[in-house]
Amino acid sequence: MSSHREWIILSKIPHLGPKRCRQLVEHFGSPKKVLSASSSSLLRVPEMGEKIVSSIIQERERIEIDEDLKTIDKLVMHLISFQDDEYPRNLLHTFNPPFLLYVRGSLREEDRDAVAMVGTRRATTYGKIMTRKLARELAKEGITIVSGMARGIDTAAHWGALEAGGRTIAVLGCGVDVVYPPENRKLMAEIIESGAVISEFPLGTPPEGVHFPQRNRMISGLSKGVVVVEAPLRSGALITADFALEQGREVFSVPGNTTSPYSQGTNRLIKQGAKLVEEAQDVLEELDLSPLGEMKRQKMSSRGKLSLSLEEEKILDLLGGQPSHIDLLVQESSLPAPKVAEVLMRLEIKGLIRQLAGQQFVKEA
């Protein structure tokens, strides 16, 4: 991509939006040429009225992005425009794809085989268990799990993928430099390590309610199918399901307790024709993704072996087939207790160890 500066400035001009930004770049050839165009030239572009052109002329000189560029360098993020080869193919071929993506982590070609998992923020224990189970099973088959990093079902979906050593993508309704919800800071760091955190919103954008429907179209657009786990009748997850249908994606639904308000939306989806899901195989067969598993499991296994830190290797070497208490691991590793607890969590997420009752840990076979 050419200079980040012009792409960022154009994307931040009020009243433009992704569709008009794409039209302008396609018409003039580059954001730099758009930002240097005269009023008369801009007015000749279809759907560019005087209000829009006036906004471009006024704002292109006012918008400051020096802090944006510093943050991009500091957080080691990169930008992907709709013209770049790295732009996700699934998303590009949807109605009104984002003009510019801010990415922390990495997007890969294998992420085209992705399944979105969405649901209520007020998830029940049943919903969280089912979500983690399905995400874990799908990730073990090499499927990338896409969700929104919100509380509840989204959080469970990301953790399930990470527990399997798989890839996961979080699509935010705010800037990628904003941690929302704040308690998911650790989860966000793990996702960046094993997938990507992405957004089309400029840096520093707060998580306002109006952003989430726009975010939801990206979640479904990145995926080949959307699994709704728990959702009341009025839910953002159902908006994502609607986007999925508009984009030609498959919609799946996990049945729930008929007396629970958090299952009314999912049960209604099943009545309306969504495929009922009880296990990952239901999704894999419908999307014809079953043959992917073995090949991708080998790739994930190889990556996992190469990504261990010295501290992770040290703790892993201390563990065997018999349970070891965390206090013993602290003593034998000579590492601080908080650091040992952190390393144990990372190893558990990578599927290399398992926690037993009483803070006992054992190496997975």
The predicted-structure confidence for 19-58, as pLDDT tens digits, reads as follows 999 999 999 999 999 999 999 999 999 989 999 999 999 9
Give the confidence band of 289 by pLDDT, cuts at 50, 70, 90.
confident
Q: Which range is least confidently modeled, 7-11, 26-30, 38-42, 328-332? A: 328-332
**3-state class percentages of the chain: helix first, strand second, coil last, to nearest 5:** 50, 15, 35
3-class secondary structure, 106: coil
pLDDT attached to residue 304: 47
Q: Is 59 exposed, middle or buried (CB count within 10 Å of its CB: 0-12, 13-18, 19+)?
A: middle
Name residue 104's beta-bridge partners.
197
Per-residue pLDDT of 240-261, as tens digits, reads 999 999 999 999 999 999 999 9
Distance CA 10, CA 43 (A): 16
- The two three-digit tokens of residue 151, written as one number: 């509380």
The DSSP line for 78-89 is EEEETTSTTS-H
Q: In this structure, are residues 102 and 199 in contact, taking their beta carbons and an 8 Å threshold? A: yes
What value does the mean pLDDT of the chain take?
A: 91
What mean pLDDT is predicted for residues 48-71? 94
> Which H/E stretch holds residue 252?
strand 250-253
Q: In this structure, are residues 127 and 229 in contact, taking their beta carbons and an 8 Å threshold? A: yes
pTM of the model: 0.79
For residue 292, report the phi and psi dihedrals to the nearest 5 degrees.
Answer: -75, -25
For residue 63, report the phi and psi dihedrals to the nearest 5 degrees.
Answer: -70, 125
- Whose structure tokens read 């089309």? 200
**CA-based torsion, 195, 199, 202, 204: positive or negative:** negative
Distance CA 285, CA 282 (A): 6
| Domains, in order of start, for the chain | 1-64 (1.10.150.20), 103-293 (3.40.50.450), 308-363 (1.10.10.10)
